[in-house]
Structure 1
Amino acid sequence: MSAEAFLDTNILLYAISSAPAEQAKRTTARALLAAGDWGVSVQVLQEFYVNATRGPHPAMNHADATAVVEQFMQRPLVVTDPALMRTALMVKDRYQLAYWDAAIVAAAQQLAATVLYSEDLNAGQDYAGVTVVNPFRV
Structure 2
Amino acid sequence: MTELKNHSCFVDSNIWLYAFSTDKKEESKRILAKQLIKEKSIIISTQIINEVSCNLLKKHKLDEKQLFKLIVSFYRKYQVISFNLDIFESASNLRTQYHLSFWDSLVIACASFSGANILYSEDMQDGLIINKKFTIVNPFKQ
Alignment partner for residue 123 of structure 2, among 116, 120, 125?
A: 120
- In 2, distance between residues paired with 1:27 and 1:66? 24
Alignment partner for residue 16 of structure 2, among 3, 12, 21?
A: 12
Alignment partner for residue 105 of structure 1, among 100, 105, 108?
A: 108
Q: Which runs of 5+ in 2 are unaligned?
A: 1-6
Alignment partner for residue 88 of structure 2, among 66, 85, 90?
A: 85
With normalisation by structure 1, the TM-score equals 0.92
How far does residue 59 in structure 1 lie from its aligned partner after superposition?
Answer: 4.9
Q: Is the 8 A contact 1:16 1:59 kept in 2?
A: no
How far does residue 61 in structure 1 lie from its aligned partner after superposition?
Answer: 2.5
Structure 2 counterpart of 1:136: 140
- In 2, distance between residues paired with 1:24 and 1:59? 22
- In 1, distance between residues paired with 2:66 and 2:120? 24
- In 1, distance between residues paired with 2:98 and 2:35? 30
How far does residue 81 in structure 1 lie from its aligned partner after superposition?
Answer: 1.4
- In 2, distance between residues paired with 1:59 and 1:117? 26
Structure 2 counterpart of 1:50: 54
Structure 1 counterpart of 2:40: 36
Q: How large is the Cα RMSD of the aligned pairs?
A: 1.2
Letter in 1 for 2:63: N
- In 1, distance between residues paired with 2:46 and 2:61? 20
How far does residue 60 in structure 1 lie from its aligned partner after superposition?
Answer: 2.5
Number of matched residues?
Answer: 134
Letter in 1 for 2:12: D
With normalisation by structure 2, the TM-score equals 0.90
Structure 1 counterpart of 2:31: 27
Query: Matched residues, percent identical?
Result: 28
Q: Which runs of 4+ in 1 moved over 2 A?
A: 58-62
